[in-house]
Amino acid sequence: MSIVNMLNWWQWSLLAAVPPAIVLLYFLKLKRQPLEVPSTFLWHKSIEDLHVNSIWQRLHTSILLLLQILLIVVAILALLRPGWRGSQLSGDRFVFLIDNSASMSSTDIKPTRLDEAKRRVAELVQQMKAGDVAMIVSFSDSARIEQLFTDNRRELERQLVTIRPTNRATRLGEALRVAAGLANPGRALEVSETQVVEGLPATVYILSDGRFPDVEGFSLGKLKPVFVPIGEPAAPNVGIIAFSTRPREDKKDQLQAFARLENFGPDDLTAQVELYRDDSLADASQVELKAHGSGGVVFELGDVHSAVLRLRTLSGGALRADDEAWTTVDPPTRSKVLLVTPGDEALELALATESARELADVETAKPEALDTKEYQRKAAEGHYTLVIYDQCQPKQLPQADTLFIGGLPPGGAWSALAKAAAPQIIDVETAHPLMQLIDLGNVRFAEALPLKPPPGNTILISADAGPLFAIGPRDGFEDAVLGGEIVGTNEKGERYANTDWPLRLSFPVFILNALSYFGEATSPGATNVEPGHAIMLRSAGAADSLRVVSPSGKAVVLKRERGEAFNFSDTDELGVYAVEEANHPLRHFAVNLFDSAESNIEPRQDVQIGYNKVTGETTWQGARQELWKLLLLGALVLLLGEWYIYNRRAYL
């Protein structure tokens, strides 16, 4: 037990003089109410033995005096502010960073880690002295300022309660930047124009399980970090970290569901998994999982065209968010591809292969068709998934992904240098899905436009003269531009082969890559959305609105904006979201955690912030347990008792 001295020495001496003063006053009895009585005869007789005038005898009987002295002693004790020492707050400015990511919903600490973090922050807030200011920031993959710097403890506690768990991943960096921005102004962060906080040192309390990547390239400046790890080190957890469906390699019409489970606990175990198809149990299995190991499970689904699949593991451990995973099988929708070309046999041939036909319906049109109303309507409505403009340029970009071959998109964002003759291909970005398995070492172009793509683009093929092939985002779509034509046309109007690429094996592979890459958005069965991330949705027809029903049944109507695709970002809830267009189910998508960093709930004992290694506070002594409230309560009870006794004249 420790005592916080609340008074100066002279205040104490003044206080110490109070009990003797009470005793003196009691003896003096300055104020006696005079009362006229018929006769004091009997009174004199009665008080004869009480009137022995012995001080001690008088004190002996005076419980009121005793109570008064007791009261003052209790009040003095309360002023001492006794209590049991808890974690001390150091400094006078605090930033509480509270992790509310998915892993903080673990129940290894009852009720949850987040509640424990909130409780600890509440304890720290209670210890704040007058004049101390604190800020509360909750963070998952993004930071959210719950409360700006204030000395209002009540407000801090109120905001603390409102922090809700999320299913998101954890990134500390943004939260730290928010804290630093408010603590060390001058860093680029504007929170509010009215908020002016001078650059003063602040203590940053990070309450987290530490399941976030090390923060790199961040200097703490005047921030003093304190990491409070939350969680049981040996808490068991089994998480589903992947779940998807795929056609069997040998029988394309048969579907298989693959799931991957990981055991993050310290013990080997056998995980029970159950597969539900449209909410009825379809299959069950067991996976042997070694400690800190993973294992897979495969379910044969057979001939399934449409289903909502849910996988559940019964031995899920402390974190529940990763005990279930969803995926959907929607009727296959082949992407619609429009090829606009004055004539390109190689391209038409590549789009006519069996594999290409499985992926897409290809329409072919002449460049003149670009002026027809039908094309313009379909382009504006997003009818096509991909439009390939071969040696031509539309007046307006369509609501679709585009692939320009030997031409530039309209609008002026893209530009090119003068045609370069025989550009040498230097590098191919094979990491990009469009360029997977493509070797262009044996491909030559007669001439090509060295591209000057707008910022934010990815260069897929670099040549000595400049970029030859690049892809860049445009609103919700992507435009890929190949600088070199496949079939060129000379001044006389004669057509010639500009490149030998169509002769190489990589050309049809490239076309298939393009079809599957651009068409992926329309094959939604595989689509998995991370919680909190946005998903782009496309309507099948020309509808102006889409309706998205969340797993809990909350419906959101999305309106089309400026002829773009629909963007849905309210994906905090785990589960299957249904997308409806004009009251007809269009497709489903699943939001799953699938984050082994979050599923690994073992708390880290230290975190790396920039060049600083912050070691966690291993022992949490809890908040200082204050006694003064109890003492004051006792004093109040004493006062009441005194009043009662005085009024009832019931002193013994």
Binding residues for another protein, per CB under 8 A?
Answer: 29, 31-47, 49-50, 61-62, 646-647, 649-652
Nearest distance from C-beta of residue 44 to another protein, angstroms: 5
Closest CB to another protein among residues 52, 650: 650
Which of 487, 503, 505 lies closest to 495 in space, CA to CA? 487
We find the least distance from the C-beta atom of residue 33 to another protein, in angstroms, to be 5
Strand, coil or helix: what is 162? coil
Is 145:137 a contact under the CB 8 Å cutoff? yes
Q: Minimal CA–CA distance to 510: which of 443, 464, 446?
A: 443
Buried/exposed 482-513: b ≥16 CB within 10 Å, e otherwise: bbbbbbbeeeeeeeeebbebbebebbbbbbbb
CA 269 – CA 246 distance, rounded (Å): 28
CB of 50 to another protein, least distance (A): 6
Nearest CB to another protein, comparing residues 1 and 652: 652
Q: Which is nearer to another protein, 37 or 418 (CB)?
A: 37
Q: 474 exposed, middle or buried (CB, 10 Å; 0-12, 13-18, 19+)?
A: middle
- Three-class DSSP labels, 471-500: EEEECCEEEEEECCCCEEECCCCCEEECEC
Cβ 635 to another protein shortest distance, Å = 23
Going by their DSSP bridges, the two strands 477-482 and 447-448 should be labelled as unpaired
CB of 18 to another protein, least distance (A): 20
Nearer to another protein (CB atom), residue 34 or residue 131: 34
Residue bearing tokens 């782009």? 536
Name 470's bridge partners: 459, 481
Of 562 and 648, nearer to another protein (C-beta) is: 648
Nearest residue (CB) to another protein, 31 versus 395: 31
**Least Å distance between CB 28 and another protein?**
11
Task: Compute CA 587 distance to the chain's CA centroid, rounded to the nearest angstrom.
Answer: 25
Smallest separation, CB 65 to another protein (Å): 11
Phi/psi-derived region of residue 278, left when phi > 0, alpha when psi is between -120 and 50, beta in every other case: left
* Nearest distance, CB of residue 49 and another protein, angstroms: 8
Which is closer to another protein, CB of 49 or CB of 279?
49
> Which residue is it, tokens 């390699």?
249
Cα(153)–Cα(205) distance, integer angstroms: 16
Q: Is 391 left (phi over 0), alpha (psi -120 to 50) or beta?
A: left
Handedness of CA 315, 319, 320, 322 (dihedral sign): negative
- Smallest distance, Å, CB 56 to another protein? 15
Encoded amino acid at 247, one letter: P
C-beta closer to another protein: residue 36 or 249: 36
Buried b (16+ CB within 10 A) or exposed e, 259-295: bbbbbbbeeebebebebbbeeeebbeeebebeeeebb
Least distance (Å) between residue 639 CB and another protein: 17
Q: Which is nearer to another protein, 33 or 490 (CB)?
A: 33
62 or 142, CB closer to another protein? 62
Instruction: Give whichever of 54 and 552 is closer to another protein, judged by the CB atom.
Output: 54
- CB of 66 vs another protein, minimal distance in Å: 14
Min separation Cβ 69 and another protein, Å: 17
Closest separation between CB of residue 72 and another protein, Å?
20
Q: How far is the CB of 27 from another protein (least distance, A)?
A: 12
Instruction: Identify which of residues 10 and 41 has a Cβ nearer to another protein in the complex.
Output: 41
CA dist 542 to 50, 73, 538, 565, 620, Å?
104, 82, 10, 11, 60
In the chain, the amino acid numbered 168 is R
Dihedral (CA of 390, 391, 395, 401) sign? positive
For residue 624, report the phi and psi dihedrals to the nearest 5 degrees.
-60, 125
CB nearer another protein, residue 28 or residue 431? 28
638 Cβ neighbours under 8 A, 6+ residues apart: 67, 70, 71, 74
**Sign, Cα dihedral of 106, 109, 115, 116:** negative
Cβ proximity to another protein: between 60 and 158 the closer is: 60
